Amino acid sequence: MLQSPGGLRIAGGVTTLLAVFSTGVLAEPTPGLPPEEGRYVGRLVPDLVFQDAQGREGSLHAFGRQAPMMLALVFTRCAGVCSPFLASLARAQEVLGDSGGAYRTLVLSFDPRDTAEDMGELARQLGLREADGWTFAVSAEGDVKRLADAFGFWYSWDADRGQFDHPGMLVALDRGRVVRLLVGTQVPPTRLQEIVRELRGDFVPAYPQPGRVLFRCFQYRADTGELRLDWGFLILLVPGLLAAVGTLVLFRAGGRYRAEPS
């Protein structure tokens, strides 16, 4: 996805090419993954009341007024992505060292069977029971479903496996509005740093979409804020190169035609 700064002006057809190839050539999206696209960015999510692992009640919007938040929807009986996803988020936060200050993290269950005690046990298993800035909580089933629908998160019960099918997703919220979605099985520190920059109000000009990019024309360095050319940028040169070669061939053919005796 490319976001263009207000001062950037690119002429003619290059604008179109840059819009298509800025972060890379798009492949078919991975089936079942919610899109990391602008349809959800800026959307106000519905409020809900939750109960945390210590039995205290709170509301999502009040929680978000204290600081921007990272929101993850999981369930405690998950045999798949939930625990590894949260563990990778915790590792990324440890690398960056800004959890609890720049933002808070809310882990909310979408499984109506989960209790606040179950979420507390999940936090303990991950070593996050006393982690600064982390809250594990449950809420009413209907409220969680409305919240999930607001940013495209889905889950469906598989009776044969006794598990929910669902993606791994991290949602960045600022004052109740979606700032960014990150979809996948892991949270790399570089991706998390991009999100943190956006929560701070910094301009992030481009970022990759997992499962949709074959190669990229630009690489954004979240640690420095720099946007650098990647090898995929060479594709932008292909039309001009082909035009130059075609013109040269035509001129040579025309020269040979004129040089031949009549």
Among 184, 173, 212, smallest CA distance to 84 is for 184
What integer pLDDT is reported at residue 226 of this predicted model?
52
Residue 116 in domain:
yes
Going by the DSSP 8-state scheme, the letter that residue 236 receives in this structure is G
Sheet holding 69-74, edge to edge: 57-59, 49-52, 134-139, 104-109, 69-74, 169-174, 177-183
What integer pLDDT is reported at residue 28 of this predicted model?
42
pLDDT band of residue 1 (cuts 50, 70, 90) is: very low
Residue 78 in domain:
yes
Residue 226 in domain:
no
Residue 61 in domain:
yes
pLDDT single digits (tens) 65-79: 989 999 999 999 999
Distance CA 104, CA 92 (A): 14
pLDDT band of residue 246 (cuts 50, 70, 90) is: confident
Residue 221 in domain:
no
Give the 3-state secondary structure of residue 103.
Answer: strand
Structural domain harbouring 107: 28-212
**Model pTM greater than 0.95?**
no
Residue 241 in domain:
no
Q: How many domains are there within the chain? A: 1
Q: Is the pLDDT reported for residue 173 higher than 80? A: yes
pLDDT single digits (tens) 13-56: 433 333 334 444 434 444 455 555 568 989 999 999 999 999 99
Residue 249 in domain:
no
Which CATH number does the domain housing residue 115 bear?
A: 3.40.30.10
